[in-house]
Amino acid sequence: MTRCKHSHRVPLDLVQEAWEKSTTEHVDMAVQCQLSSHDDGEHYGLFSDTGEYGTATWLRWRERTEAELIALPDCPLVATGPDGEACCLFDGHAEHHTWETALEEVSCSD
Ligand SMILES: [Zn+2]
Ligand SMILES: [Zn+2]
């Protein structure tokens, strides 16, 4: 199980929009897909988690199409166990929860 290798440059107008709309000091110019390896479908890269509590802004794209920013609620599922780890993805995502795959050290916030 490996993490999806796809990454995407954030379109400049979206970067600009994020600057204007939010108080975030750091806007990523490129994001990597957070899902575990998949062959088709949409890629989701975490763009910003500074929005409303319980939501995050994701860059969603397909190959050869324009990317778009969408706000999605956080995945509510937490690993069972004493130190239940939260999933870093969004509600209703495909593939596996981040704590299921235990790829490299995944941290939701960096
Ligand atoms: Zn992907
Ligand atoms: Zn999840």
Give the closest ligand to the alpha carbon of residue 41: 1
Question: How remote is the CA of residue 96 from the centroid of ligand 2, in Å?
Answer: 7
Cα 82 to ligand 1 centre (Å): 30
Q: Per residue in 72-85, pLDDT tens?
A: 999 999 888 887 88
> Which ligand has an atom closest to residue 94 CA?
2
Compute, in angstroms, the gap from residue 15 CA to the centroid of ligand 1. Answer: 20
> For residue 86, is it within any domain?
yes
- Measured in whole angstroms, how far is the alpha carbon of residue 16 from the centre of its chain? 19
Reply yes or no on whether the pLDDT at 19 is more than 80: no
Q: How many other CB atoms are found less than 10 A from the CB of residue 107?
A: 8
Contact between residue 103 and residue 1 where contact means Cβ atoms under 8 Å apart: yes
Residue 110 lies in a domain: no
Condensed to tens digits (0 to 9), the pLDDT of residues 23-43 reads: 666 777 899 999 988 888 899
Number of domains in the chain: 1
Residue with tokens 């995050």: 56
Q: Are strands 7-9 and 30-32 parallel, antiparallel or unpaired?
A: antiparallel
Residue 1 lies in a domain: no
90 is a domain residue:
yes
Q: What is the pLDDT of residues 47-94, one digit of tens each?
A: 887 767 899 989 999 987 788 889 999 999 988 888 788 898 999 998
